[in-house]
Amino acid sequence: MRDPELMRQVKEILAQISKIAPGHAVELRIPPYSAIQCVEGPKHTRGTPPNVVEMNAQSLIALSQGTLTWSEAISDGSVHASGERSDISNLFIQLMGRN
């Protein structure tokens, strides 16, 4: 079951990421809550996107608050990132600057 408060937080963070990095080059997935496409670059249209970042809601929140770093999240497996444009660590640095 989806937690309504987590859903609200995820949607808010993803909306901010969409503003910071509009585009369609990276698919950012937060199952079971939401997914967006972001970052400028080639648009993906069919099949599995070449640049995918997937994490749970708690990791997204921690990254956006600065309590988890991108390198820690990659190392401990809480973030799975594939593709040449999938390092979106700079987006979380920008988010922290907005809060």
How far is 30 from 53, CA to CA, in rounded Å?
9
Q: Does domain 4-93 have CATH number 3.30.1050.40?
A: yes
Q: Which helix (H) or strand (E) holds 72?
A: helix 70-76
Determine the Cα angle at 42 with ends 37 and 46, to 5°.
Answer: 70
pTM for the whole structure: 0.91
Which stretches in the chain have pLDDT values below 70?
Answer: 44-47, 98-99
Predicted pLDDT at 2: 84
Which pLDDT value is given to residue 69? 96
Q: Are 26 and 52 within 8 A, CB to CB?
A: yes
Residue 43 identity (one-letter amino acid):
K
Q: What is the pLDDT of residue 99?
A: 57
- The per-residue pLDDT for 44 is 64
In the block, residue with structure tokens 């660590």: 89
Q: Is the peptide bond before 32 cis (omega within 30 degrees of 0)?
A: yes
